[in-house]
Amino acid sequence: MLGLLTVITLCAIALLAPELAPHDPEAQDLMLTLQPVRLGSSHPLGTDGLGRCVLSRLLFGARMALTVAVTAAFGAMLLGSAMAYAAGYLGGWTDWLIGRAVDVWMSFPPVVLSLILMVGLGTGRTNVILAIILVDWTRFCRVLRSEVIVVARRDHVAAARLLGFSRWRTLLLEVVPATIPLLITLLALEMGIAVVVEAILSFIGLGVTADQVAWGQMIADGRDAIYQAPANLLAPCAAIFVAVAGFNLLGDGLRRTLDLRLVEGRG
């Protein structure tokens, strides 16, 4: 419940950022650099080294974080789950091939792999999303494949085949619905991970381009002035923390309400 509230609030902030932000996040005012936090002033969370309003940048940063989180998580889900259904339901050499591909993929440290991809692809929002998809589809694939295997072994799947369902139809009507709760849970968790990865990439300057606002970038910028204006660093850190915690709580809550086994266990 708390997770859902957090995520809804974040979405609202991202959508309404132009209305909520007191300033243009890019507007520099070199006369007013490194202002301290003073609620009620025109820069409530102060300004950064270039005199940009921290609050405005924070609000616009939410747009970037959520866009990346939602699209990357969906992309990773589509790629990963397609592979998982193929591997788990068809089995045999398809399973072997996909399984080994995932093994090889996961043997790279994920951060290093995404760095390599970003170097290859170049910076930019689309490329950040692409990098996250290409790194994290394995997570979906691994977890979902085992669930698909469990479901596919259940007798109602065999029964559907005996009653004349085609393979496709059996997969879509008997196997996929049973895995949806897990998929939604993974999706929510993946969004949290995507927020972190996007922040990491932006932090080291391999993420979005300089004219786009991102929390990771703000942390990198605020690092230099940590003693003069700690809010520059702490505000985006807190934002990331809240976003990730929100997605994780949402994932947990969804699992508890959607998982039939847990629901039935409650009686």
Partner 1 sequence: MSLLVARGLTVEALVEGETVPVLRGLNFALPPGRVLGLVGESGAGKSMVGRAIAQLLPPGFAVTEGSMAFDGTDLVAMPLGHRRALLGRDIAFIPQEPLTALNPVHTIGAQLAEHHRRLGVRGRRMLRDYALAALSAVFLPDPAGLLSRYPHQLSGGQCQRVLIAMAFAGHPKLVVADEPTTALDVTTQSPIVALMGALQRASNTAVLFITHDLRLAASVCDEVAVMYAGEIVEIGPAAQVLHAPRHPYTRCLQLSIPPMAGPRRALYSLPEQMPGLRALARMSGCRFAPRCPVRAEYCLRIEPPLEGDNHRSACLRPGLVPTIEVEATLPASPWRPAGQAPVLALDDISKSFATGAWPRRGRVDAVRGVSLRIAPGEFVAVVGESGSGKSTLGRLVVGLEQPDTGRIVLAGHDVTAGDEAARQHRIATVQMVFQDPQSALNPRRRVASIITQALEAQNAKFSVREKRARALLAEMGMPLELGLRTPAQLSGGQRQRVNIARALCSVPRLLVADEIVSGLDVSVQAQLLTLLNRLRQDHDFALLFISHDLSVVRHLCDRVLVMHQGEIVEEGPTETVFGWPRHEYTRTLLAAVPA
Q: Cβ 169 to partner 1, closest distance in Å?
A: 8
Q: Cβ 5 to partner 1, closest distance in Å?
A: 28
Q: Cβ closer to partner 1: 178 or 200?
A: 178
Give residues with Cβ within 8 angstroms of 64, minimum separation 6. Answer: 125, 198, 208, 212, 213, 214, 215
Q: Cβ 146 to partner 1, closest distance in Å?
A: 17
Burial class of residue 189 (count of CB atoms within 10 Å of its CB; 0-12, 13-18, 19+): buried
Q: Cβ closer to partner 1: 85 or 203?
A: 85
Give residues with Cβ within 8 angstroms of 173, minimum separation 6. Answer: 160, 165
Burial class of residue 28 (count of CB atoms within 10 Å of its CB; 0-12, 13-18, 19+): middle
Backbone angles phi, psi at 35, to 5 degrees: -70, 145
Q: Cβ 54 to partner 1, closest distance in Å?
A: 49
CB 194 within 8 A of CB 64: no
Q: Cβ closer to partner 1: 1 or 260?
A: 260
Q: Cβ closer to partner 1: 17 or 151?
A: 151
Helix intervals (H) in 86-170: 92-106, 110-121, 125-152, 155-162, 167-170
Binding site for partner 1 (CB under 8 A): 154-156, 158-165, 169, 174, 177-178, 260, 264
Q: Cβ closer to partner 1: 48 or 174?
A: 174
CA 125 → CA 14, 67, 131, distances in Å?
A: 16, 9, 10
Look up residue 62 and give its amino acid.
A
Q: Cβ 84 to partner 1, closest distance in Å?
A: 19
Which among 39, 3, 11 has a CA at the least distance from the CA of 235?
A: 39
Q: Cβ 149 to partner 1, closest distance in Å?
A: 14
Instruction: Look at the block and give the residue holding tokens 């691994």.
Output: 142
Q: Cβ closer to partner 1: 169 or 223?
A: 169
Q: Cβ closer to partner 1: 125 or 255?
A: 255
Q: Cβ 171 to partner 1, closest distance in Å?
A: 13
